[in-house]
């Protein structure tokens, strides 16, 4: 289906095989550990960030024992090294802005791996704040269309306190203020909508629009290479492809 497609939508088409290649359980476990340490403890009822990550783990069929092990590691019951969250910024080949969120027990190792991808693919890694101003932190709830029109979803979402709605091939993306994400998700579910996922993201304020060609494919390959690094949790870009066709 032709149209506009943002990097976040392209990522969803990568599939389970790529998720396994990226060692998704390890990445989720690290994210859960960080959520416990930085989000307010091991109780998901009072720790919103942890609740989001546990939901993400369930979506990916992560075993409960893996989740519990990650929580215990945060509480100092594991033997692993200390994990910390780090953020890198820069520009992909072609000029698309990129934010990379990673979790690591060795900052120099992670930095070297990320710099290597930038250097190999012709990108430019920047300093803190070099592209962050081009993004806004918000919540996003992906819901299945279930025969609903964008206008119906937009009116319903606005009534719930959402700030925007975008449409992709099979989903509606409902954007919220970060602190309202869980409350709006709960309301939408109570109204009978099927939620595919809910998470906190960095949403681009403006997008870099490009047609699908060799240069655009190089950017996609670059972003995929970053995502496949063991320490990288999330990669955000302001890339938007015009006339993108879903394979």
Report domain extents, the chain: 15-74, 84-131+210-242, 134-204
Smallest CA-to-CA distance from 190 within 159, 220, 215 is with: 159
What's the confidence (pLDDT) of residue 83? Answer: 87
pLDDT value at residue 75: 85
CA 209, 215, 218: angle at the middle one, nearest 5? 110
3-state helix, strand, coil in the chain (%, to 5): 45, 25, 30
In this prediction, residue 10 has a pLDDT band, given cuts at 50, 70 and 90, of low
Enter the pTM of the model.
Answer: 0.84
Instruction: For residues 61-87, give the mean pLDDT.
Output: 84
The string of pLDDT tens digits covering residues 23-47 is: 788 899 999 999 998 877 899 988 8
Fold held by 15-74: Arc Repressor Mutant, subunit A (1.10.10)
**CATH architecture of the domain with residue range 134-204:** 2-Layer Sandwich (3.30)
pLDDT at res. 3: 42
Which stretch of DSSP H or E encloses residue 239? strand 239-242
Phi/psi of residue 89, nearest 5 degrees: -135, 155
Domain at 84-131+210-242: CATH architecture: 2-Layer Sandwich (3.30)
**Domains 15-74 and 134-204 alike in fold:** no
pLDDT of residue 14: 54
């Amino acid at each position: 289906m032709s149209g506009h497609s943002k990097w976040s939508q392209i990522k969803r088409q990568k599939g389970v095989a790529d998720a396994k290649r990226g060692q998704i359980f390890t990445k989720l476990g690290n994210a859960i550990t960080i959520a416990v340490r930085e989000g307010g403890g091991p109780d998901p009822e009072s720790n919103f960030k942890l609740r989001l990550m546990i939901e993400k783990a369930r979506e990916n069929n992560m075993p409960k024992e893996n989740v519990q092990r990650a929580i215990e590691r945060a509480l100092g019951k594991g033997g692993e090294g200390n994990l910390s969250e780090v953020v890198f910024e820069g520009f992909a080949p072609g000029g698309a802005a990129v934010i990379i969120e990673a979790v690591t027990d060795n900052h120099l190792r992670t930095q070297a791996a990320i710099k290597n991808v930038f250097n190999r693919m012709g990108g430019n890694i920047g300093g803190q704040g070099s592209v962050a101003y081009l993004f806004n932190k918000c919540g996003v709830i992906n819901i299945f269309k279930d025969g609903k029109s964008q206008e119906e979803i937009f009116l319903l979402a606005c009534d719930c306190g959402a700030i925007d709605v975008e449409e992709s091939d099979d989903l509606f993306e409902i954007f919220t203020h970060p602190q309202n994400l869980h409350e709006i998700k709960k309301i939408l579910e109570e109204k009978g909508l099927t939620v595919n996922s809910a998470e906190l993201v960095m949403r681009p304020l403006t997008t870099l629009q490009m047609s699908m060609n060799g240069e655009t494919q190089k950017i996609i390959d670059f972003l995929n290479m970053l995502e496949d690094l063991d320490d990288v949790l999330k990669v955000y870009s302001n890339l938007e492809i015009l006339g993108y066709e879903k394979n």
